[in-house]
Structure 1
Amino acid sequence: MDTQQLEKETLEKIDQIVKNNPVVIFMKGTPQMPSCGFSARAAQALIDTGENFGFVNVLADPAVFEFLPKYQDWPTFPQIYIDGELVGGCDITLELAESGELKKMMAEANAKHAQQDA
């Protein structure tokens, strides 16, 4: 498969993950076994809300690792998406967590998706 085809298919896959998960973090490692400090702090902020979220270990999928920065023109990991929108990376997520906004945003996104699935 050529690079352009791989990029197209990978960006479509990322798009489906973002659209099908009310809250998802693309991170290095997993929430239980993060592979970088930024991913660890961002995942912990999500865990601390008590809300459900999905995750993608970008280290386990070289194509996602390579092409995710092009998806929303965000060059670094982790990337957190809530209700289909890029929230940002570690710093923004920690600021939202401190203000209480993160839990609210996650709860609203989870409730909205639960209603759509019902």
Structure 2
Amino acid sequence: MDSNTRSKIESLINSKPIFVFMKGNKLMPQCGFSNNVVQILNSLGMSFETFDVLSDMEIREGIKEYSNWPTIPQVYLKGEFMGGSDIMISMYNSGELKEKLEIALAS
């Protein structure tokens, strides 16, 4: 990945405490996995921002390299990669996600 793409990705990740790279956006997810993440964050009342990877192929491929994670969506909390849809679902179901988000956002 070139330095310009890396810089764009880092700028996006650091623009909000919770940032999601997904297909579509939070108002209109374009795949079921992205929709799962949006529904989970909405159900927890979390404020978050999204980037539609379908709108930019460099970001779409670059984010996979950046995180060393092959799939979309990707969720970042305060600049750190948390995981994708499966991880978010698992953490949500265990109650761990709500606690982790609340602690991180309080600090």
| Identity level (%) | 39
Measure the CA separation in 1 of the matches of 2:106 and 2:48. 12
Measure the CA separation in 2 of the matches of 1:33 and 1:41. 12
Does residue 88 in structure 1 map to residue 89 in structure 2? no
In terms of fraction of residues, the more helix-rich structure is 1
Gaps of 5+ in 2: none
In terms of fraction of residues, the more strand-rich structure is 2
Gaps of 5+ in 1: 113-118
* RMSD over equivalenced CA pairs, Å: 1.4
Measure the CA separation in 2 of the matches of 1:47 and 1:55. 13
Give the deviation of 1:109 after TM superposition: 2.7
Give 1:32's aligned amino acid.
L
Larger radius of gyration: 1
TM-score relative to the length of structure 2: 0.90
Contact 1:10 1:63 in 2 (8 A): yes
Question: Which of these residues, 44, 52, 56, is aligned with residue 51 of structure 2?
Answer: 56
Measure the CA separation in 2 of the matches of 1:16 and 1:46. 21
Runs of 4+ in 1 over 3 A off after TM superposition: none
Aligned to 2:18: 23
